[in-house]
């Protein structure tokens, strides 16, 4: 500072600018915290999705216990297990780091599903007495493995970016997942026609809805269209099953009670008829004795 002739003091120093409350550093820190929170939420939802998916994969266990006890596959179809197997193998391919990084939960649960379905199919093959059906299963298995091998070779050798690899495998996954989720449509049609939910287990429908919902939320937190689309459709199908269950639950109870009552009446008629025949037979025998 210096003095002018009029003795006015002039400050030569520039005024310091006020520092904004939220500096760029603090904004960056907030963004990092938000991303960390989103990742934590995504992981939690993914773990819950893994639990519900594992329940779905293991749900046919009572069927295979029955097959093991009877030593025959009876009229059971291997199609659901073959369809689930190829679906799981495709999602394992989608979840590997070379195709879609940061998808460990997707890869692990579908790896578990692959192992479970392989065990189910081996049990089915062991107890299948029809050589033609067994041959068909082996042909389908060969085609599924050929599909996975061809797709893996394509995306890992010819395609060189994660985005393109994810897109190619993701589109194939969507197609197969929609087909798998659409499989309960025949059961839903049966429920509507018979007005009975006897052959549509409640907990299986609930798990299907919860699984689809969890993976849809998982995909929306850090948007992944290839996971969101099939699981969104799956959650809608699961919700539709629950609505049908709520609609026809009472009529199912009434039908089962009517069948039980009819069965008891038929049994009582058989017992009465048997007693009457016995009495008639005893009467004839007495007459014969008296005649002697």
Written as tens digits, the pLDDT of the chain (292 aa) is: 545 555 555 555 555 555 555 555 566 666 667 666 777 888 888 899 899 899 989 988 988 998 999 899 887 888 889 989 999 999 999 999 999 988 889 999 999 999 999 999 999 999 999 999 999 999 999 999 999 999 999 999 998 898 899 999 999 999 998 888 777 787 888 888 888 887 777 888 888 899 999 999 998 988 889 999 999 998 999 999 999 999 988 888 888 788 777 776 665 555 555 555 555 555 554 444 444 3
Helices (H), the chain: 24-58, 61-70, 79-95, 104-127, 131-153, 162-181, 185-194, 202-221, 225-291
What is the end-to-end Cα distance of the chain in Å, rounded? 153
* Domain assignment of residue 10, yes or no: no
Residue 285 domain-assigned (yes or no): no
Structure confidence at residue 262 (pLDDT) = 76
- Report the domain count for the chain: 1
pLDDT for 203 equals 81
The answer to whether position 122 is within a domain reads yes
Give the integer Cα–Cα distance in Å for 292 and 182. 77
Residue-level pLDDT at 15: 54
In a domain, residue 199? The reply is yes
Cα–Cα dist 55/70, whole Å: 24
Q: Looking at the domain assignment, is residue 149 inside a domain? A: yes
158: DSSP letter? I
Q: What is the domain range of residue 153? A: 38-254
Residue 272 in any domain: the answer is: no
Q: What is the pLDDT of residue 279?
A: 55
- Report the pLDDT value the prediction gives residue 194, as an integer from 0 to 100: 86
pTM for the structure as a whole: 0.71
pLDDT for position 30: 65
Assigned domain for 271 exists: no
**88 assigned to some structural domain:** yes
């Amino acid at each position: 500072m210096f003095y002018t002739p009029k003795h006015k003091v002039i400050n030569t120093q520039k005024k310091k600018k006020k520092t904004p409350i939220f500096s760029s550093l603090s904004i960056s820190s907030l963004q990092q915290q938000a991303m960390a929170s989103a990742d934590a939420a995504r992981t939690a939802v993914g773990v819950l999705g893994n639990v519900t998916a594992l329940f779905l994969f293991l749900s046919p266990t009572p069927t295979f216990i029955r097959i093991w006890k009877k030593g025959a596959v009876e009229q059971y179809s291997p199609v659901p297990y073959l369809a689930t197997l190829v679906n799981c193998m495709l999602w394992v391919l989608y979840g590997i780091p070379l195709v879609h990084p940061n998808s460990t939960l997707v890869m692990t649960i579908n790896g578990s599903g692959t192992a479970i379905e392989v065990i189910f199919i081996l049990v089915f093959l062991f107890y299948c007495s029809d050589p033609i059906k067994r041959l068909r299963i082996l042909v389908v298995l060969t085609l599924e493995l050929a599909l996975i091998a061809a797709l893996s070779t394509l995306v890992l050798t010819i395609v060189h970016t994660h985005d393109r690899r994810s897109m190619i495998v993701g589109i194939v996954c969507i197609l197969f997942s929609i087909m798998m989720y659409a499989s309960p449509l025949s059961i839903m049609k049966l429920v509507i026609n018979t007005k009975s939910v006897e052959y549509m287990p409640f907990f299986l429908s609930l798990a299907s809805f919860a699984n689809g919902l969890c993976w849809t939320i998982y995909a929306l937190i850090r948007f992944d269209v290839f996971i969101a689309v099939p699981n969104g459709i799956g959650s809608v199908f699961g919700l539709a099953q629950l609505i049908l269950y709520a609609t026809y639950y009472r009529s199912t109870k009434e039908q089962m009670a009517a069948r039980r009552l009819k069965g008891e009446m038929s049994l009582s008629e058989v017992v009465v008829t048997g007693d009457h025949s016995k009495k008639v037979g005893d009467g004839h025998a007495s007459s014969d004795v008296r005649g002697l």
